[in-house]
Structure 1
């Protein structure tokens, strides 16, 4: 996959703000973590990804490492979605890297491809599904409440 310089800079910026090391234990709180260059840079590793029923997900940053933000990459097989439309207190951003997504927000849908973002306000019903013929790869950026 080739990404433009602008997209690379945007992804690196997002990752720099929310990145973590997969080795950090879940029970560790942010005040106990010593942040270093070694644990603040996280390269995608399929072997460390979590298999889901529709593909897999990889946490570049989670709330147990960052102060409150998460950055996750999800890969969803054609014709599937990670879950039904839902809502929660936290707002979310989705950023499409590859494939064709159908976004659902408050009763309406739209379809979009790579280099598209989708914002989900707090407590608004939303969802994302793969309506393409190839895997859908997207980032989810979220501020988690602790």
Structure 2
């Protein structure tokens, strides 16, 4: 009676250990190294609202302290927006390079012009609309933090 219990315990222990060893060897994403990404190396996506030049894609770009890190330049056509105001677990900075528009932050709208910057903390509603007659360009950095549990959705 003792041998079957010993074999069962040993088998379960080995299975558990091999699962952890196997998982560690197949992590979905690893941290990126220090890099320079030229515009010609970036991924350009043409959308109905304009173009987005993605330097580091959100899905799969991790750094020493961040995960799901997006860096991009968006070029929005007059009268357009990428999407209506939205919210997510990530922190986000948006810096206006060119054009004019309207920021939306926590339900309040404000004028947006070149040189302005917006920060949205996790779960804050935010967005940007091009209200000008020329292309609006902005740089975005969006990320989730490693080792910091995201706040609960309010």
Question: Normalising to structure 1: TM-score of the pair?
Answer: 0.69
**CA offsets, 1:18-77, max 9 Å, x none?**
xxxxxxxxx97225x6x37xxx11111398411111011111223424422321111100
Query: Which blocks of at least 5 consecutive residues in structure 1 are unaligned?
Result: 1-26
Q: Which has the larger radius of gyration?
A: 2
Superposed CA RMSD: 2.4
Cα distance in structure 1, aligned partners of 2:42 and 2:62 = 22
Q: What is the aligned partner in structure 1 of residue 127 from structure 2?
A: 127
Q: What is the aligned partner in structure 1 of residue 45 from structure 2?
A: 50
Q: Which runs of 4+ in 1 moved over 4 A?
A: none
Query: Which blocks of at least 5 consecutive residues in structure 2 are unaligned?
Result: 1-26, 147-154
Aligned length: 115
Question: Normalising to structure 2: TM-score of the pair?
Answer: 0.66
Cα distance in structure 1, aligned partners of 2:120 and 2:129 = 14
Pairing of 1:67-78 with structure 2 (within 5 A):
67=63, 68=67, 69-78=69-78
Pairing of 1:1-146 with structure 2 (within 5 A):
29-30=29-30, 35=33, 40-45=35-40, 48-63=43-58, 64-67=60-63, 68=67, 69-144=69-144
Structure with greater strand percent: 2
